[in-house]
Amino acid sequence: MAARGRFITFEGGEGAGKSTQIRRLAEALRASGIACLETREPGGAPGAEEIRTLLVTGATHRWEPMSEALLHFAARREHLARTVWPALERGLWVLSDRFADSTMAYQGRAQGVGEDAVRTLYRVAVGEFFPDLTLVLDVPPAVGLKRADERRHDETRYERMAASFHENLRAAFLDIAKRDPARCAVIDGTRELDAVAAAVRAEVRTRLGAKLP
Q: What residue ranges bind ligand TMP (CB under 6 A)?
A: 14, 40-42, 55-56, 72, 97-98, 102-103, 106-107, 155, 158
Minimum distance from residue 198 beta carbon to ligand TMP (Å)? 22
Q: How far is the CB of 26 from ligand TMP (least distance, A)?
A: 16
Which is closer to ligand TMP, CB of 103 or CB of 186? 103
CA distance 169 to 112: 11
Cα distance between residue 145 and residue 132, in whole Å = 28
Q: How far is the CB of 56 from ligand TMP (least distance, A)?
A: 5
Task: Return the number of the residue (32 or 156) whose C-beta is nearest ligand TMP.
Answer: 156
| CA nearest neighbour of 99 among 81, 70, 72 | 72
Question: Are 31 and 183 within 8 A, CB to CB?
Answer: no
Shortest distance, CB of residue 124 to ligand TMP, whole angstroms? 15
For residues 189 and 22, give the distance between their C-alpha atoms in angstroms, rounded to a whole number.
13
Task: Closer to ligand TMP by CB, 6 or 40: give it.
Answer: 40
Distances (CA, A) of 194 to 117, 169, 190, 200: 38, 25, 11, 10
Residue among 34 and 139 whose Cβ is closer to ligand TMP: 139
